[in-house]
């Protein structure tokens, strides 16, 4: 078992031990959720969850917020939430400092206590993550997503780990051969699942060095579907409120030759989800991490040393 696999399958004790934040209090403030890479994907899901719970929010890449914040949001009535596993990501730390200099309240979420981000923020949530987690974000991504959901008002954390662990185990029992012969991967999810779908695509791309895409389900018909053929594998993250429409799309994609893993709904292979509301994003995330690891292993790739990547992106000043 690789260190990456141990960090994926061994993350759930850290979920259970984590002390999650309380729900946001002021619905008149706009929350700007920042991150880079995986953290930005999480920010998209967290911001969507906040909006659904009555807290206006927008997700922005930290580097964009640093250099052109007015392109995304006015300066007044803003609180900033900055995500960084290491707490040392150059753009995120700089964006937090710039936001504070403008008088905006900044909350950090990190898995590195005492980091630069912790010092740059007005308040910081710090979590312990799996000690073997390497370059690829696994347990830390799940913990930061859970923290964002808690701020949005999600309270079902007592069963969250069990639900995610059971779903991941069900996926682990499926044969990887159906995926291993595909070379074009598409991840589809809407609402709070869009950022999670992008994260699934990123994990597979990082670990297995393959071509991946992520889209909202309804958008996929508008051009990208032109690439679908017998080389395509689709991961559909079903939303409870639009599952019927998404099932129609899945039928269309399978008719065009795609293999579809339906998570929460039908597909070539399907797995049920059991989490209510926004919590389903946390339930499916470890499964998507495991998909990247399993596919990379089938290709003989070492997920502890993904090509061109480092654990922390620190830019020269």
pTM over 0.85: yes
More confidently predicted of 177 and 193: 193
Closest by alpha carbon to 136, among 38, 47, 64? 38
Edge-to-edge strand list for the sheet holding 232-237: 211-215, 184-189, 232-237, 259-263, 269-271
- The percentage of the chain sitting over the pLDDT mark of 90, rounded to a whole number, equals 79
Same-fold call for 3-152 versus 160-298: yes
- Total length of the chain: 317
Question: CATH code for 3-152?
Answer: 3.40.50.10490
More confidently predicted of 198 and 227: 198
Q: What are phi and psi of 147, to 5 degrees?
A: -65, -40
DSSP 3-state of 213:
strand
Domain ranges across the chain: 3-152, 160-298
- pLDDT tens digit sequence for 267-284: 999 999 999 888 999 999
More confidently predicted of 132 and 266: 266
| Torsion angle defined by CA atoms of residues 154, 159, 165 and 169, in that order, rounded to the nearest 10 degrees | -120
Q: Which residue has the tokens 């594998």?
A: 233
Architecture of domain 160-298: 3-Layer(aba) Sandwich (3.40)
Q: How confident is the model at residue 291 (pLDDT cuts 50, 70, 90)?
A: very high
- Angle CA 31–198–123, to nearest 5: 30
Q: What is the mean pLDDT of residues 201-227?
A: 93
How many CB atoms are located within 10 Å of the residue 278 CB?
A: 23
- pLDDT tens digit sequence for 94-128: 999 999 999 999 999 999 999 999 999 999 999 99
């Amino acid at each position: 078992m690789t260190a990456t696999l141990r960090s994926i399958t061994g993350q759930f004790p850290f979920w259970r031990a984590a002390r999650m934040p309380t729900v946001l209090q002021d619905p008149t403030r706009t929350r700007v959720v920042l991150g880079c890479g995986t953290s930005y994907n999480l920010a998209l899901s967290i911001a969507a969850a906040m909006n659904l719970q009555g807290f206006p929010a927008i997700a922005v890449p930290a580097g964009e917020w640093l250099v052109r914040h007015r392109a995304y949001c006015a300066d007044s009535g803003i609180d900033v939430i900055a995500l960084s596993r290491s707490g040392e990501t150059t753009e995120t730390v700089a964006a937090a400092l710039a936001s504070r200099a403008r008088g905006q309240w900044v909350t950090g979420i990190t898995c590195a206590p005492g980091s630069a981000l912790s010092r740059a923020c007005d308040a910081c949530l710090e979590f312990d993550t799996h000690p073997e987690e390497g370059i690829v974000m696994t347990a830390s991504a799940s913990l930061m997503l859970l923290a964002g959901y808690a701020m949005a008002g999600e309270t079902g954390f007592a069963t969250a780990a069990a639900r995610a662990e059971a779903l991941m185990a069900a996926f682990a029992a499926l044969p990887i051969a159906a995926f291993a012969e595909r070379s074009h991967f598409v991840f589809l999810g809407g609402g709070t699942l869009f950022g999670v779908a992008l994260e699934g695509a990123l994990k597979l791309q990082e670990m297995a060095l393959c071509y991946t895409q992520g889209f909202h389900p309804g958008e996929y018909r508008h051009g990208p579907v032109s690439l679908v053929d017998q080389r395509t594998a689709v991961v559909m993250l079903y939303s409870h409120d639009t599952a019927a429409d998404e099932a129609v799309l899945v039928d269309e994609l399978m008719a065009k030759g795609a293999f579809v893993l339906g998570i929460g709904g039908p597909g070539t292979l399907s797995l049920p989800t059991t989490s209510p509301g926004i919590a389903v994003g946390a339930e499916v995330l470890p499964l998507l991490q495991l998909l990247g690891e399993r596919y990379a292993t089938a290709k003989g790739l070492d997920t502890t040393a993904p090509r061109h990547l480092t654990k922390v992106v620190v830019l020269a000043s």
